[in-house]
Amino acid sequence: MSGVKRVTWCFILVLGPISLATCDFTTQLSALQVVIHLAALSVVHFALVFPPEELLDGLGITLFDLFSILKDPEQYGFIEYVCKRQTFFKTFVALYPAAFSGYFVHGNMFMRKEFGISRFPELLDNPIFWNTFFVISIFSALVYNYHISDYKKWPFYQYFIDNPECLNQVEELVSEPDTFKIRFCAHTFLYCNRNFFAYVSNWRLVAVKQADLRLLVDNTRMPMIPNMDDEERLRHIFVIVSFRQPYLPVFTISLRHDLYRQLNEVLAVPIIVPAHITIPLTIMEELKEDFIERVAQNDRHIHHAKASDKEPCFACGTEENIIKIVKTCADNNERWQWSREGQRVYTDQCQVCVCRPLWCNRCIAQIFIGKQNIDAVYRHDYWRGTAQCPTCRKAFCIRDVHLVEFVLEED
């Protein structure tokens, strides 16, 4: 893939200058055409910096891909490489005024003079101004690049000056395969273990010991973003990340609800939740609680077993196997679920399951709910459907799920 990216960028870097140098303009642009050209230039400029992941990032024509060609990550330490990447990105953004004014410089330069007209409308036709603006923009970007190139003067690096042993810990953190990692977007990651916390992007780098970390929930919201793995829409939780050291800037991260819970388990420090904020359950958790309440209303099943035969849940291996599937529903009970198109689909009649108690209530809830259409519109009708026992493949409905009351016999 890296070879494809190299060829792509070499083609762009060669063809682009040749195309610009061989332009031969003979007509004047209207004000609308100039606006359209500048809008397209702006979109291209910032699309390289903030690419649509499915498009430019997949094709390998983003600024990140260009930088990875210019700088081999294997030749630098993690901290140095990320800082050079951030410098490259910030300098590229600082070149936007130069690209803007360069459009007018290029148009004036390649306009054929024998036609006696200028390339741009009278209001924008000022070559001296645009040439001066272009030179000043280039010079300013170079000065800015020089100013930020020494990353050891950046605020985040002061932490490593105060805690020099942390430099090696960061390298170990990002290279350790057991490190908990969250991917926010193409090149933005959060790394965490029981001792260290790091956040890395094209614009920000912070890595601290968890003893110096403060996390505070700021807000929660329910976006319309489907999680394609379990077909539920997950809430996002905004967490303010602050530090004991005042020179480290505060920032906010947005965590998907399931990732928030996973991160909370890994962290050695708590994520503080203010009294006025309630962390809601995920839709799957809400439906699991509802499933457990409905099952508790069913009759209990008496099961005789030897003490040595009592085992933990077959799925999770930690909870007790307190659920037995026993057909107790009537054949005339309606069993249906919603299709993707919003239509009722009637399911098969329930069958007799002869399996012994295998599941805990939360695992059987996961099995049953996972077979239903639980999107934001139809999720509350999940209990009307059926599922199959994972071992014998017999169909069952929620009326057939019973808590077990064990009667233990002597071995």
Architecture of domain 155-279: Roll (2.30)
Q: Phi and psi for 110 in degrees, rounded to 5? A: -110, 15
Sheet of 196-200: strand order equals 180-185, 188-192, 196-200, 205-209
Q: Which residues pair with 242 in a beta bridge?
A: 214
Q: Taking the CB of residue 176, how many other CB atoms lie within 10 A of it?
A: 12
Closest CA to 85 of 148, 175, 138: 148
All structural domains of the chain with their residue ranges:
2-149, 155-279, 284-409
| Tokens encoding 191 | 């790394």
Instruction: Specify whether the CB–CB gap between 42 and 35 falls below 8 A.
Output: no
pLDDT in tens, the chain (411 residues): 444 455 555 545 555 565 555 565 677 888 898 889 889 988 888 887 877 665 555 556 677 777 877 787 778 888 888 899 899 999 999 999 999 998 888 888 877 565 667 778 888 888 899 999 999 999 999 999 999 988 888 888 888 888 888 888 888 888 888 888 988 877 888 998 888 899 998 888 898 888 888 888 887 765 544 444 443 445 678 889 999 888 899 999 888 877 888 888 888 888 888 888 777 666 777 888 889 999 999 999 888 877 666 788 888 888 888 899 999 888 777 777 766 666 677 777 888 988 888 888 889 998 898 888 766 546 777 888 888 898 888 999 999 999 988 877 765
Closest CA to 28 of 141, 115, 89, 156: 115
> Buried (b) or exposed (e) across 54-76, using 16+ Cβ within 10 A?
eebbeebbbbbbbbbbeeeeeee
